[in-house]
Structure 1
Amino acid sequence: MGPATRYFDLDEPFPLYRGGKLPGLRLAWESWGTLDEHRSNAVLIFTGLSPGAHAASSGQDPEPGWWEEMIGPGKYIDTDRFFVLCVNSLGSCMGSTGPASINPGTGRPWRLDFPDLAIEDIARATRLVVEDLGISRLHAVIGPSMGGLTTMAWLKQFPESTDKVSLISTACSATPMAIAIRSLQREAVVTDRNFRDGQYTEDAWPEVGMRLARKLGMISYRSAREWQQRFGRQFQDYFPPTLFGMRFKVESYLETHARKFVGQFDPCCYLYLSRAMDMFDACDGDNSLKALFRRSFTGKALVIGVETDLLFPLYQQRELAKALEASGSEVVFEALPSLQGHDAFLADIDTFGPPIRQWLQSG
């Protein structure tokens, strides 16, 4: 982890949403900006599946973060005005406790012995960091992609704990299409000959499975229209041709991203977080989405999506906006024009930034 990363340690059992418990946990977090006198200017950002807590650079760590163009002094999420907090998700491998962590009972990585993880667990663990910082109420919670699921899990468990909520390229639950894609990604990993029921080693990593999973992910994160404009039928000369493949530029694009991912993310952490996304249903404790929001949030909401999103289709964001509005919240819904699919919130900052800044700074 970078020099700006800090840690919260819980040295007592942490019960989990679907049963089981962890004997303790560690959460990696980073922050930008300064808490005001009343600790009322805190903005919490939940991450997607794979990012860590390093959302932006800082004086302590100049390495660009995963939302670098969004967060910082004078940027769309202005750290001259707000104290911005990002916590690496419970279950991840970017500094927080997860399947790649050492099980204190065995002295070996948890791997498949890690208890069943739910999105609700991620939200409740994050609450520990927020409370440790002395923040009783947040100015805003922002959740893109899986972070949007975690935002709804936060509201479900901690009603009326924030003035503002932004749900970005997300939904109350996964569609069959999204489940099918993630199911195939998990199958690619667990059927890799090196996976060995989670007993893989650094010398025998399930690289093929992780590469294929990442390629499937990249296909679902972007849009066909973007790739038509960007790649067309151009040939590539970066990688050697393979049997029946690696002729086209789009193939080398997928291979480049796959190779980067293999060494960056632990396979079991990937499996647990992926399954948690599929299993999440914001309404599992309420009879409707409207009922959930009615009891958990009455503030200013921003819901954003793009029509080219395959994983979280735009109609799902419309459903969120309608339910928030019906429950009494003041809602801004933005259907943004972007070709970059689900990844648009990361890749098209010029389009996503202005509505976020306007909503965040509104009274």
Structure 2
Amino acid sequence: MADARRYCTLPSPFPMKRGGALHGARVAYETWGTLNAARDNAILVLTGLSPSAHMMSGAEDPSPGWWEGMAGPGKAIDTDRWFVICVNSLGSDKGSTCPASTNPATGEAYRLDFPELSLEDVANAAHVVVRELGIARLACLVGCSMGGMAALAYMLLHPDTVRAHVSVDTAPQAQPFAIAIRSLQREAIRLDPQWANGGYDIHGDGERYPDMGMSIARKLGVITYRSAMEWNGRFARIRLDAEQREEQPFGFEFQVESYLEGHARRFVRSFDPNSYLYLSRASDWFDIAEYGGGSVMEGLKRIRIERALVIGVSTDILFPLEQQEQIAAGLEAAGANVDFVALDSPQGHDAFLVDIENYSRAIGGFLAKL
């Protein structure tokens, strides 16, 4: 399969917020559309925890991307007009330097010797990509979920480098419920004996691999990415047919259990467990109040942009709607012209990946006004 990924080498050393530095590190990214002569039509997209930089299909890689319905020629993020960049987060194993990468100091994989990762590091690495592409100021910065938090960090750390911002289902800081869920996900991985204190078979091709821990972590995630309304509507209390049930004691009996198992099975060896741990903890650590003397509102008021669109969904239990309202109020107090859209999609946190029609209308409408 064709690969449209490009790589940007980070400055060496690349200092990390919480101490330590990376040497010879790089981040993967993809681009679509054409950068105009004025270099002022660039949109940067920062992703959630697990996606790669392959946001949409293109000539070099025609396979569907993770936001295929949202971006492309004539779509809401219109690549006929915009030059679109999607960066794979520093710390993610989808091409960027991460705990599974080789540590040049030892010649072995970093594993738990990887420096502590923050979303500020993710933001700074993405900014290097933008600068390397010769772009002084982004027309728009789009951040989804974890990427929305990294986007807030980006705008704070690199003032006056972003004109407009689209904030999608994110938060200015992790709330206790989100921290509790992610903590349980990390615990499931750490307690799997095959995790071996980070010493499992990194390439996922051996028996020593925390399949069980990753499976439980993924199931916990999927449960929180959707809403109770969605679960009820899709599965109700429908039971599996007799031949689909497990013979073992307390085995799967309901369709929803089988659905979660299928999701987990597809994910388990497709994402590096240590990378998952690092990015998950970085999400918990992020707090914009650090930039506002302990106040979220004061932190947000330090962001200098012209326009913003803040989207949230009423059924999101991971990044609840009041957190989107908080972001909108803070950016408005900072002087931005802010559009706030509250959607009633039943899909919960994952609505931005599923309810493409409503999110497209909001995002496309906003970008058309820029």
| Pair 1:275-2:281 in alignment | yes
Q: In 2, distance between residues paired with 1:322 and 1:2?
A: 43
Deviations 1:51-77 (A, max 9, x none): 010000001111100000001000010
2:271 maps to amino acid:
F
Match of 2:345 in 1: 338
Which of 322, 330, 339 matches 2:329? 322
Per the TM alignment, residue 166 of structure 1 is displaced from its structure 2 partner at its CA by: 1.1
In 2, are the aligned partners of 1:222 and 1:309 still within 8 Å (CA)?
yes
Taking the aligned partners of 2:132 and 2:72, their CA distance within structure 1 comes to 23
Instruction: Quote the offset at 1:240 in angstroms.
Output: 4.0
Work out whether residues 174 and 283 of structure 2, in 8 Å CA contact, stay in contact via their aligned partners in 1. yes
Q: Structure 1 residue 11: deviation in Å?
A: 5.8
**How many angstroms does 1:293 deviate by?**
3.6
| Percentage of identical aligned residues | 53
| SS state at 2:193 partner | coil
The offset of 1:297, in angstroms, is 1.6
SS of the residue 1:95 aligns to: coil
1-side partners of 2:40 and 2:287: how far apart? 30
Specify the code of the residue in structure 1 equivalent to 2:286. Answer: F
1: CA distance, partners of 2:109 / 2:268: 18
Q: Is the 8 A contact 1:290 1:327 kept in 2?
A: no
1:31-66 superposed Cα distances (whole Å, 9 cap, x missing partner)? 110001111000000000000100000011111000
Match of 1:301 in 2: 308
Residue aligning to 1:228: 232
Query: How much does 1:326 deviate?
Result: 1.6
Q: Which amino acid aligns with 2:177?
A: M
How far has the Cα of 1:24 moved from its partner? 2.2
Cα pair 1:7 1:26 within 8 Å, conserved? yes
Aligned residues: 363
What's the CA shift string for 1:155-175, capped at 9, x where partnerless? Answer: 110112111011111110011
Q: 2:251 aligns to what?
A: 245
Q: Match of 1:62, SS?
A: coil
Q: 1:295: Cα distance to partner?
A: 3.1
TM normalised by structure 2 equals 0.96
Question: Conserved in 1, the CA contact under 8 Å of 2:347 and 2:355?
Answer: yes
Partners of 1:223 and 1:339 within 8 A in 2: yes
Equivalent-residue separation in structure 1 for 2:232 and 2:244 (angstroms): 21
SS at match of 1:56: coil
Whether the aligned pair in 2 keeps the contact of 1:5 and 1:28 (CA below 8 Å) is: yes
Paired with 2:39 and 2:11, the residues of 1 have a C-alpha distance of 26
C-alpha distance in 1, partners of 2:277/2:296? 27
Q: What amino acid sits opposite 1:173 in the alignment?
A: Q
Report the Cα offset of residue 2 of structure 1: 4.7
Contact map agreement 1:158 1:296 (CA 8 A) in 2: no
1:124 alignment counterpart = 124
| In structure 2, distance between residues paired with 1:212 and 1:2 | 32
Q: Does residue 73 of structure 2 align to residue 73 of structure 1?
A: yes
Gaps of 5+ in 2: none
Q: Could you tell me which residue of structure 1 aligns to residue 35 of structure 2?
A: 35
- Paired with 1:215 and 1:293, the residues of 2 have a C-alpha distance of 33
d(CA) in 2 for partners of 1:61 and 1:239?
A: 37
Q: Are 1:169 and 2:169 matched, yes or no?
A: yes
| Distance of 1:293 and 1:192 partners within structure 2 | 39
Identify if the C-alpha distance between structure 1 residues 11 and 334 changes in structure 2 by more than 3 Å, giving closer, same or farther.
closer
Partners of 1:299 and 1:247 in 2: CA distance: 53
CA distance 1:149–1:74, shift in 2 (3 Å): same
Residues 17 and 118 in structure 1, CA contact (< 8 A), matched pair in contact too: yes
Q: Deviations over 1:258-296 (max 9, x none)?
A: 001111100000000000000000121223334334332
Cα RMSD, aligned residues only: 1.3
- Cross-structure match for 1:219: 223
